[in-house]
Amino acid sequence: MPPASFILSNDPIPNTPAEFQPGEGAETQFLGVVRGMEDGRAITGIDYSAYLPMAEKMLQELIDRGQSEHGPHRVFIQHRLGFVAAEQPSIVIRVATKHSAESFDLCRWYLKEIKTSVPIWKKPVFADESQIG
């Protein structure tokens, strides 16, 4: 995992093992998977879209802010774009730190910030082929 990076792409999220750096004692990974239901209705998946220039800028600013406000750590974020089928991962966040508590806290912080501030939109694709925008 590089010191701090992100990927916005249609590529599947790989399952890669942790590789610790000197001084690191914890890595927390959050893997968000598309559920098969949305608003009580069956879905086949979610179609994710983003305004890439702004999303990439905001992710970089978020990572910079995380480093500034929470001290040095390694972070990797990948969010899928395009159609992601139900039961497939749509986002992964990996945070490596010296101690476990800060790793958990930072992973949760990144997820909250991504969901509330990065322009990535989701459009469920319902099993009956209707869509809600």
Show the domain range for 105.
Answer: 4-11+35-125
With a cut of 80, say whether residue 127 has pLDDT above it: yes
Mean of per-residue pLDDT scores for the chain: 91
AA letter at 29: Q
| Banded pLDDT at 14 (limits 50, 70, 90) | confident
Q: Looking at the domain assignment, is residue 117 inside a domain?
A: yes
Q: Looking at the domain assignment, is residue 23 inside a domain?
A: no
Task: Kindly state the average pLDDT of the residues 51-71.
Answer: 95
pLDDT tens profile 79-99: 999 999 999 999 999 999 999
Q: Looking at the domain assignment, is residue 18 inside a domain?
A: no
With a cut of 60, say whether residue 133 has pLDDT above it: no
Q: Looking at the domain assignment, is residue 77 inside a domain?
A: yes
**Predicted pLDDT of residue 13:** 83
Q: Looking at the domain assignment, is residue 98 inside a domain?
A: yes
Q: Give how many domains the chain has, as a whole number.
A: 1
Q: Looking at the domain assignment, is residue 17 inside a domain?
A: no
Q: Looking at the domain assignment, is residue 130 inside a domain?
A: no
**Predicted pLDDT of residue 22:** 87
Q: Looking at the domain assignment, is residue 16 inside a domain?
A: no
Give the CATH number, domain containing residue 93: 3.90.1170.40
